[in-house]
Amino acid sequence: MWGDEDAAPSFADAKEPMTESDNRHVDNPKIERQGLKSGSGPSIGAIIVIASLGLGSVLTLAWRNLDELSKRPETAWLVAHLSGRTIADKRLGEAERAILVGQNDEARTAYGEALALYKRADDRRGQAKALLGLGELESKEERADMARAAYSEALTLFKKEDNRLGQASVQFGLGEVERKLRRYDSARTAYREALILYKRADNPLGQANVQYGLGEMERKLGRNDAAQAAYVEALRLYLLENNRFGQANVQCGLGRLETRLGSGPIKLA
């Protein structure tokens, strides 16, 4: 159930603990022999190690044993070169793929780990993207307070980066949260703010999604004229983008509206 709490808890950094099986990789003699001076890059021997283990294995190794590796001069370069954006981007991609197959718990963990690494790398844009993903996930699972918290932090970071498209995505997400809570005035305000930002970012697909969301909300509220106007504009934009899935959704909404009104097909021009 959606709650009415307005509190916005902050997200704590997440880290996966080391296991006994992980230690065998840290103690791998092929890695131990590649000593590096502080501040230097990887030696040719270390590059050979990466080639032999595979980049994916090295990235996983670096994340799971981050603290241990950072203390060892022979592997400190792994932390310096791989523990920031590279691994964070990898975990962010894994989170997005997990959502597609319904693995929401795995996605939440991956988002948290990516967020922690982006913070370590002082990457505000990366943090904002991870928080946006978390907000969408929490909204999908109807955790209103957690969704708001993630969206709020993401919006602050996107504003600092002057990223209009990111801000628009957050406002659309906030509109979805408020709509599910039946706070329709707040939802309408967030949707309209998202629409303005998508227009400034020259993103027709984003505008179409917002208009469709508005159409659905207004139809369910019995505001037929407003619903029709939003649907028609959404359809125009989906046609412009050749987005057939969006077109189908709008046509379905228009069909429901026509049934309610007891009229013939709604004129689209």
How far apart CA 171 and CA 155 sit, in angstroms, is 8
pLDDT at 72 (0 to 100): 66
pLDDT at 180 (0 to 100): 93
Q: Which residues of 66-101 are buried (b: 16+ CB within 10 A; e: fewer)?
A: beebeebeebbbbbbebbbbbbbbbbbebbbebbee
Mean per-residue pLDDT pooled into runs of 10, the chain (269 residues): 42 38 37 38 49 54 58 61 74 93 94 92 93 96 95 97 96 96 96 97 96 95 94 96 95 90 63
Q: What's the first-to-final CA gap in the chain, in angstroms? A: 41
pLDDT at 27 (0 to 100): 38
pLDDT at 120 (0 to 100): 87
pLDDT at 5 (0 to 100): 39
Cβ atoms within 10 Å of 164's Cβ, excluding its own: 18
Domain ranges of the chain: 1-166
**Residue 75: strand, helix, or coil:** coil
Fold of 1-166: 1.25.40
How far apart CA 115 and CA 69 sit, in angstroms, is 20
